[in-house]
Structure 1
Amino acid sequence: MTRLLWIPRGIGLGLLAFLIFGPLLNLLLWAFAEKWFYPNAFPSDWGFSYWGRVFSPRGAAWEALGNSLTVALLTVALSLMLSIPAGYALARLPLPAKALILLSFLIPQAFPNLTVYVNIARIFYQFGLNGTIAGVVIVHTVHGLVLSVWIATAAFSAVPRDGEEAARSMGAGPFRAFRDVTLPQALPGLLAAAIFVFLESLDEFTGSYFVGAPDVQMLPLTLFTAAGGGNYQIASITALLLLVPSIGFMLLVERFLKADVLARVGK
């Protein structure tokens, strides 16, 4: 009887694999399909003509890719500039209401994105930030701080105080002790935070749409436009451009983000 238990387990694993890899397989099929009509199970013609259209000068894929990477990198830089001192202070200093401060970074996530970005767009219009890279970076950073501050706090909390205290006792100043002792040990967690922020920025659509469109073209906007117009091949190719770095960076996150850091998230 116990030998038959592999049957429901196999069925369950097969369904799980289908749910995970089925959409990815469909994405790959559409990316290389020239003609695919119902009720055919597979495309009738294959080719790369849509790839040429996506990367042609009129396709604007290079512009969207360049803008997306630029915004993501600037968002990472700004998020880390803010989250490193904030995370260190929350992990090391006897601040009152630390839990409340950490929860305050979740406020942008507590409300529907649509209503938040409509009001942000109205405010940005007054300061000339709508339709600019700077405006999109600021919006993405608001979301990125949720991840970067929490992970930075956990990363600094996981670093023992002994090394920093020993450096201070030997004459090192507070900044030098932080730079030479604490920061290198917290670096894996900070790198993981940077990767998470980069991926969050790369995939962000709502903020990019309300603040950046139509002047700042981004890959999620290109994907939305193509899918809304029924151009499934172009939409699939654009989705692959977003998917490849996401998979690569998630593998890096798995390497850098250790269990002791995860255990301290929210503490």
Structure 2
Amino acid sequence: MMARVDFWWLPRALSLGLLAFIIFGPLTNLVLWTVAEKWYFPHMLPLEYGFSFWQRVFSQRGNAMESLLTSIVIAALTVIASLALAIPAGYALSRLKLPFRGLILLAFLIPQAFPNLPVYVNIARFFYQIGLNGTIAGVVMVHVTHGLVYAVWIATAAFSAVDIDLEEAARSIGAGPFRAFRDVTLPLAAPGLMASAIFVFLESLDEFTGSYFVGAPDVNTLPLLLYTAGSGGNYQIASITALLLLVPSIGFMLVVERFLRADVLSKVGH
């Protein structure tokens, strides 16, 4: 008898190949643009390769380093402000039997529930009246409204994952409420809080719309530089800028995978 040929591997291979193309195709195109000196239709690959555009991006006139530094400063301030609000809020939501606790958690999703454009236009108008438009403080405040979604929800889950009996044991041997929180609860919740800090940092680092309406042209971040280069047809500069934003995002997400354990994720929303 002839051996039966199994062709089931073919659709699986095609599906995996299509998925790999969807994921890595745009990334490959992005990397090619960063080293393309000449590339135009109908050629499938660049005609010349080089790093002259890298020199232009990192030159003094390129503003890439200044924009990157501004983006990092804004993201760091956003993390500090978000955690300063999220740690007490998350602890209260995880430990206290608050009325309408679910609605309070849902309230932090409101900034994500509406289209960003009309919201930021009105925020920019209000900030202009009070002198916050075009300032780092104004941009940070806008970023915090989005960062609190990650910070509060993950902080609440992180504190919920810490057994309250450990706090009560510390209290029973003489520790006060603050010391029990500082020495017992906070260190155990630290991995989840670190993960929320990374989410907030990446959200702030990639934020464009709020930065554009509230900060531009006085506060120039890396996403704004990317938008300016892309809209002007400078695809090499736009690709290099996008790569600068992509590298920390991938690195931090790998770190988040180590920090967010299954027992913490199971507490989200509870």
Q: Where on the TM-score scale, by shorter chain, does this alignment land: which range? A: over 0.9
The number of residues matched between the two structures is: 267
In the alignment, the residues of structure 1 paired with residue 95 and residue 258 of structure 2 have an alpha-carbon distance, to the nearest angstrom, of 25
Q: Is the alpha carbon distance of 1:3 and 1:206 closer, same or farther for their aligned partners in structure 2, counting shifts above 3 Å?
A: same
Q: 2:124 aligns with which of 118, 121, 124?
A: 121
1:67 aligned counterpart, secondary structure:
helix
What code does the residue aligned with 1:9 have?
R
SS at match of 2:134: coil
Structure 2: give runs of 5+ residues left out of the alignment. none
TM-score, scaled relative to structure 1: 0.99
Distance in 1 separating the partners of 2:267 and 2:96: 16
Whole-angstrom distance in 2 between the partners of 1:110 and 1:94 = 26
Deviation at 1:162, TM superposition (A): 1.0
Q: Would you say 1:132 and 2:107 are equivalent positions? A: no
Cα distance change on mapping 1:121 and 1:11 into 2, 3 Å: same
Hey, what's the Cα distance between the residues in 2 that align with 1:188 and 1:105? 22
Matched with 1:91 is 94
| Among candidates 3, 16, 23, match of residue 6 of structure 2 | 3
* Pair 1:55 & 2:58 matched: yes
Structure 1 letter corresponding to 2:223? P
Runs of 4+ displaced beyond 4 Å? none
Residues 151-182 of structure 1: per-residue CA shift (max 9 Å, x gap): 00000001001110001111111000000000
Amino acid at match of 1:165: E
Query: For residues 221-266 of structure 1, what are the alpha-carbon distances to aligned partners after superposition, in whole Å with 9 as ceiling and x for unaligned?
Result: 0000101011000000000000000000000000000111111111
C-alpha RMSD over aligned residues: 0.8
Deviations 1:10-54, CA, capped at 9 Å, x for gaps? 100000000000000000000000000111110010000000110
Tell me which residue corresponds to 1:246: 249
For 1:131 and 1:260, locate their aligned partners in 2 and report how far apart those are by CA, in whole Å: 42
**Which SS does the other structure have where 2:7 is aligned?**
helix
Which of 106, 112, 115 in structure 1 is aligned with 2:109? 106
Deviation at 1:5, TM superposition (A): 1.1
The percentage of counterpart residues that share the same residue type is: 73
- What is the TM-score with the length of structure 2 in the denominator? 0.98
Q: Report the CA distance between 1:2 and its aligned residue.
A: 7.8
The answer to whether 1:233 aligns with 2:246 is no
Aligned-partner residue type, residue 87 of structure 1: G
Structure 1 residue ranges without an equivalent (≥5): none
Shift of 1:3: 2.7
1:173 aligns to 2:166 (yes or no): no
Return the alpha-carbon distance in structure 2 between the equivalents of residues 3 and 222 of structure 1: 53
Aligned with 2:37: secondary structure?
strand
Structure-2 separation of matches of 1:251 and 1:235: 25
Map of 1:79 onto structure 2: 82
Return the alpha-carbon distance in structure 1 between the equivalents of residues 223 and 176 of structure 2: 46
In the other structure, the counterpart of 1:45 is: 48
Q: Partner of 1:145 in structure 2?
A: 148
Aligned partner of 1:181: which letter? Answer: V
Report SS of the residue matched to 1:34: strand
Query: How far apart are 1:94 and its partner, in Å?
Result: 1.2
| 1:189-200 alignment, distance < 5 Å | 189-200=192-203
AA aligned to 1:47 is G
SS of the counterpart of 2:25?
Answer: helix
